[in-house]
Structure formats: structure tokens, C-alpha cells
Amino acid sequence: MTLPPKVRLVGRRLLQAAPALAGIIIITFVLTRALPGDPAVYFAGPAADEASIAEIRKQLGLDRSLPVQFVSYLRDLATGNLGTSISTGQPVLTEIVTRLPASLELTLTALLLAIAVAVPLGVLAATRPDSWVDHLCRFVVTAGVSLPTFFTGLALVYLFYYLLGWAPPPMGRLDILFLPPDRVTGFYTIDSLLAGDISAFGSALAHLALPAVTLALFTLAPIARMTRAAMLQVLGSDFIRTARAAGLSRRTVLFGYALRNAMLPVITTLGMVFSFALGANVLVEKVFAWPGIGSYAIEALVVSDYAAVQGFVLAMALLFVALNLLIDVIYTLVDPRLQLEE
């Protein structure tokens, strides 16, 4: 039985992620083992003496050849063994799995927020060149890419926490009075709703608001810029002229024809936006003491907890590949022209 073409296309997209995965594994391996300097010293941490370094070297297999090390690295990855964090004493994998939902909740909320604002803004700006919306859009775009996220975050904290007192203190995901809701998704907002705890939901939302807005302000700019540019280009293209000459209403032309075509390059840009967002996420987590994998990595960096940093880089890369895959699948389903590649 043959599969429908769309399903096969999506399957092929999934396969195309394989080289990226291989690349990630190789690079993380290179970062771990093959760099100048003695990884054993890194892994042992700053407080280690000669004997414990030698112990670690043997434990890590650093006394063996690189190919052998690579194979054992692969085996470790396959079994989920990312080493043990020297600062917490916990396996790195456990730490990351526990903290990942916090990062995801923050990043995804910010992205949804950014898309919800940026796409309409870009569309409006493109349909009314040189109007106030257009100028606003250009200002937001230029300002958005110029603002360091950690700085915007601090400015928002000063304004909404210190001056206005509207926001809770920038520490964590919940007020100390609340216990975290039972873990279902790991997203406090969703889990508290599932648990029926409205006040915990309010607290989670209040804590999420500022960091999410900070991150959204940063990711908004590239999306708005791309939407505006793509919309302008599509609106100037021949087929829009055909549609207008055929008497299609402005609504149909704008949303049925122009927007759908303009979304294709925007979807492609989202990959880059995710990359920015995941990077900026680290900074935002530090500013708001958000207990995600970003702040975990920063804490680990400070104490040279090397296994934890490696685990973090790997987790972020895998997350990014997954997000890119999602984009590719959406694109494949939207653009009929990709079927030609068969």
C-alpha cells in the first residue's frame, strides 16, 4: 500500500533532520573532548586535586583513542547518560528534564505573543505604506533588534515591579506562598488550571508576564520585518494584479491571495527567530531568576560544571532541531510546489 504524497513528503522532511542531528552530535563531541586543554580538569571542577583529575580522566575514558571515545560517547547519548553535575550531584539528564518545561513555557508563550503581534503589524504596515502603522512598524523593528534582551528585562522590572508595583518580584515562576501544581505538562499555567487552582494560575501568569514580554519584544522584530517585506513583495507581484483585474474584493486579495503567499517566507524566517529566541531565553532566565535550563547552564558556567553545560548545549540543539522540523513540516504542507521534488 502506498502512502499519500503529503505523508511521504513529511516523512522525507523528518529524514532530512538526520544530518543535522549527526552534526550536532559531532560538534558536541568535539566541544567535549577534542579541544586543547584537559577536559578532565574541566569535568573535575575547580576544587579537584591531581588524584581526582586522574580518576576522572580514567572514568571518562580520556586515556583511550578518540574513535573509541566517540563510540562510548554515542553509547552514553543513547542511554541518556549525560554525566553528573558536580554542583548539584544530580545526573545532568534529570536536571534538564525537570527544568526544561519552565524554559519551554517561557519561550513558547513569548513566541506566540510575538507572532500574534508581529504578523498583523507587518500586514498592516505593508498595506498602508508610509502611514502611521508603517512608521510604527519600522520603529518597532529597528528598536526591537537593537534592544539587548537583558536590558529590556531590567527596564521592565524597574518600571512594573519597583515603580508601579504591578508585577511580582523577578524571582522564579510562582509566589513562595504557592506550591507548584501537580506536574502534568510541566507548564505551571496549564497545570494549575488542570488542578483547578485559580489563584496559583494567577500567580504563575503574573510571573510569566514580564519575562515573556521581554522575550517577545526581541523576537517580534524579525517576524514583523519579514512579514512586512514579504507582504510588500507579494502585493507588488503580477498575480495580485491579475486578482485585482478579475474584480476580487480587497479582502479576498489581501487574505486569500497575498497573505497566504507572504506567509511562506515568514515561516522560513521562523527558524532563525527560534534560534534567536532560544539564545535570548538564556539571558531572560538569568534576569528573572527563571528556573529553566538556561539559568541552570549559567549557574554551571560559574562553577565550571562542564557536564551540565554540555548537556544544556545538547538539549538546546535538539530542541531547536525539533522546532525547525515542525517549521519544515508546516511549510511542506502549505506550499504545493514542494511536491515537484519527488
Rule CB under 8 A: say whether 280 interacts with another protein: yes
Q: Please say which residue, 16 or 185, places its beta carbon nearer to another protein.
A: 16
Please pick, from the candidates 53, 147, 190, 267, the single residue that binds another protein as defined by CB under 8 A.
147
Q: Please say which residue, 156 or 200, places its beta carbon nearer to another protein.
A: 156
Rule CB under 8 A: say whether 256 interacts with another protein: yes
Count of residues touching another protein (by CB under 8 A)? 84
Give the footprint of another protein on residues 46-105 (CB under 8 A). Answer: none
Q: Which residue in the block uniquely carries the three cell numbers 534567536?
A: 276
Q: Please say which residue, 200 or 212, places its beta carbon nearer to another protein.
A: 212
Shortest Å, Cβ 25 to another protein: 10
Stretch that binds another protein, among 91-99, 113-121, 143-151, 172-180 (CB under 8 A): 143-151
Q: Please name every residue paired with 84 in a beta bridge, in sequence order, or none if there are none.
A: 91
Shortest Å, Cβ 70 to another protein: 16
**Which residues does 111 contact at the CB level (< 8 Å), separation at least 6?**
216, 219, 273, 274, 277
Stretch that binds another protein, among 54-62, 63-71, 116-124, 332-340 (CB under 8 A): 332-340
Q: Please say which residue, 120 or 169, places its beta carbon nearer to another protein.
A: 169
Please pick, from the candidates 136, 206, 244, 332, the single residue that binds another protein as defined by CB under 8 A.
244
In whole angstroms, give the CA distance from residue 207 to residue 213. Answer: 11
Please pick, from the candidates 46, 58, 151, 333, the single residue that binds another protein as defined by CB under 8 A.
151
- Over the window 162 to 201, marking each residue x when it contacts another protein by CB under 8 A and - when it does not, the resulting string is x------xx-------------------------------
Shortest Å, Cβ 194 to another protein: 30
Cell matching residue 258: 497575498
Rule CB under 8 A: say whether 155 interacts with another protein: yes
Q: Please say which residue, 24 or 194, places its beta carbon nearer to another protein.
A: 24
Cell matching residue 75: 553509547
Q: Which of 322, 275, 325, 313 is nearest to 77 (CA)?
A: 313
Cβ–Cβ under 8 Å, residues 216 and 110? yes
DSSP tag of 170: S
In whole angstroms, give the CA distance from residue 33 to residue 68. Answer: 12
Cell matching residue 135: 512608521
Cβ–Cβ under 8 Å, residues 161 and 167? yes
Give the footprint of another protein on residues 4-43 (CB under 8 A). Answer: 19-21, 23-24, 26-28, 31-32, 35-37, 42
In whole angstroms, give the CA distance from residue 96 to residue 111. Answer: 21
In whole angstroms, give the CA distance from residue 132 to residue 110. Answer: 25
Rule CB under 8 A: say whether 257 interacts with another protein: yes
Rule CB under 8 A: say whether 335 interacts with another protein: yes
No. of helices (H) and no. of strands (E), the chain: 14, 0
- The Cα-based distances of 14 to 7, 17, 221, 262, 316 in angstroms read 11, 6, 29, 25, 18
